[in-house]
Amino acid sequence: MNFNTVIDRKGTYCTQWDYIEDRFGKADLLPFTISDMDFESPIEIKKALINRVNHGVFGYSRWNHSDFKNSIEFWYNSRFNFQINTDWILYAPSVIYSVSKLIEMKSKKGEGVLINTPAYDGFFKAIIDNERKLISSPLIEKNGRYEINFEDFEEKCKISKIFLLCSPHNPVGKVWSEEELKKIISICKKYNVYIISDEIHMDIVYRGVHTPILKVADNYKESIAICTAASKTFNTPSLGGSYMLVPNSKDRDDYLFILKNREALSSPNILGVISTITAYNQCSYWVDELLKYTKDNILFVKEFLEKNIPQLTCEFPDGCYFAWINFSQLNISSETLQKALIDIGKVAIMPGNTYGEEGKNYLRFNVGCPKEKVELGLQKLKLAVDSIKNN
C-alpha cells in the first residue's frame, strides 16, 4: 500500500469532500474534518467485496455466525492479547447507535451520564437527545498531556448512572493505561456506575498499548460494555456495521429485543460484515503500515508549526490520527480563526470547541491522508494565521 497516493474523493457522495459546505458554509475548501481517511482500504477488502458484488444477489443477511465472531475473537487475541468470549459479541448498525441504546437501557430520563471533556461531539447528542443529564469531568492538560482529575471524577460519579468512556480518547489522542482503567473501574464500582467504552480508535496507537477495558474489569465486567468497529481502522464506515462486547447476558437479551423486535435493524449490510471478517483475518500488516504513516504525518505537523507558526503548538498524541493544535498564544477566539481559515486559507479544520468548552483554543487536524495534503493544509493554515497577525 502506497499511502502517498492521492485519490480524488469528490463526486462519491463523500461527507468530508462533497458536503463540506454543510458545516463550513463554503464548498471550495480543503478538508481535514470528519474522522475518516483519504486512504484506499486494503486490497484484500476490495477483492472480497468485488467477489461478493459479482455474485449479484443481495438478499437479507446475518451477523450471528462463527465467521464474523471468530474474526473478532482472533483480532482481540492477536492485537490486544485478550481472549474474549464470542457470546459477548453483538452487531450494531453503528457505534453511536449502540452507545445510544445502552444509555437508553441502563439509565432513565433525567439521570446523569458522565463524560470527560473535551469529547467527541456525538456523545453530547446521544446523551442530551436521550433526555439524560450531561455531566462533564474535564480532563487535566499538563504540557500537552491529558489525564483524568480523579477527585472530580469521583464526585461526578456520585450523581451519574453511566460513565461514557472514549478509549483512546477523541479528540485529544489519550491512550489510557491499565492503571488508569483500573482506577476508573474501581470508582465506578463504588458508586454502581455502568461503563460504556467507545473503543473505535483502539487500533490507532503510537505510544503505550491499548487495553480493552474488559481485559482489566475482573468482577465488574457485567457492568461494562465495549462499543467498537473495524471501520475507523480500515476506512470502511460507509459499508455500515459495528459490534459490541457485552458480558451481561440480560443486557444482551434486552439489546437484541430492541435491535430485532422494536427497531428491526438486525439484518446487517453484508458488505460491512465481509469487510470486518476480511480486515481482521488478513489485514493486520496494513494497520502496522498505517500507524507508521500517520505517526510521521503528526510529527510533520509538529515540526512545521515549530518552524513556521511557532504561536501554534501540537504535542504528539498517544493515539488517533489527529493533530490537536493549540492556538491559545494567538489570543483570538475560535470564531476569528475559523473565519480566517475559511475566507483566507480556504481550508476546513475542525474547531476544538466542537468538542466542548475545553477545546475552544484548539483545532483538530485530521492527518489520515497523503502527506502532500497535510503539507498543503498547513500552508493554508499559515496563510490564515499570517492574515490575522498582519491585521
Give me the pLDDT at residue 142, please: 85
Q: Give the confidence band of 390 by pLDDT, cuts at 50, 70, 90.
A: confident
Q: How many CB atoms lie within 10 A of CB 264?
A: 8
Give me the pLDDT at residue 144, please: 75
Distances (CA, A) of 182 to 124, 138, 141, 185, 221: 25, 19, 21, 5, 12
- What is the mean predicted confidence (pLDDT) over 275-290? 98
Kindly tell me if the per-residue pLDDT of 197 is higher than 90: yes
Q: What is the mean pLDDT of the chain?
A: 97
Q: Give the confidence band of 145 by pLDDT, cuts at 50, 70, 90.
A: confident
H/E run at residue 366: strand 362-366
In DSSP notation, 68-134 reads HHHHHHHHHHHHH-----GGGEEEES-HHHHHHHHHHHH--TT-EEEE-SS--HHHHHHHHTTTPEE
- What is the mean predicted confidence (pLDDT) over 146-165? 98
For the stretch 343-389, pLDDT in tens is 999 999 999 999 999 999 999 999 999 999 999 999 999 999 999 98
Kindly tell me if the per-residue pLDDT of 306 is higher than 90: yes
Q: Using only C-alpha atoms, what is the Rg of the chain? A: 21
Whole-number Å distance between alpha carbons of 284 and 100? 30
SS3 13: coil
Q: How many CB atoms lie within 10 A of CB 180?
A: 17
Please, are residues 173 and 320 in contact by the beta-carbon 8 Å criterion? yes
Whole-number Å distance between alpha carbons of 141 and 3? 32
Query: C-alpha grid cell for residue 133?
Result: 443529564
Peptide bond into 171 cis (omega under 30): yes
Give me the pLDDT at residue 1, please: 73
Q: Give the confidence band of 83 by pLDDT, cuts at 50, 70, 90.
A: very high
Kindly tell me if the per-residue pLDDT of 63 is higher than 90: yes
The residues, any chain, with a CB within 8 Å of residue 357's CB and separated by 6 or more, are 117
Please, are residues 255 and 220 in contact by the beta-carbon 8 Å criterion? no
Whole-number Å distance between alpha carbons of 163 and 175? 17
% of the chain surpassing 90 pLDDT: 98
- What is the mean predicted confidence (pLDDT) over 25-42? 96
Give me the pLDDT at residue 135, please: 98
Check: pTM over 0.85? Answer yes or no: yes
For the stretch 120-144, pLDDT in tens is 999 999 999 999 999 999 999 987 7
What's 40's DSSP letter?
Answer: P
Give me the pLDDT at residue 391, please: 75
Which alpha helices (DSSP H) does 221-310 contain, by range? 231-234, 249-256, 270-282, 284-308
Phi/psi region, residue 81 (left: phi>0; alpha: psi -120 to 50; beta: rest), is left
What's 227's DSSP letter?
Answer: E
- What is the mean predicted confidence (pLDDT) over 151-173? 98
Can you list the domains of the chain with their CATH numbers?
A: 15-34+285-389 (3.90.1150.10), 57-282 (3.40.640.10)
Kindly tell me if the per-residue pLDDT of 331 is higher than 80: yes
Please, are residues 111 and 132 in contact by the beta-carbon 8 Å criterion? yes
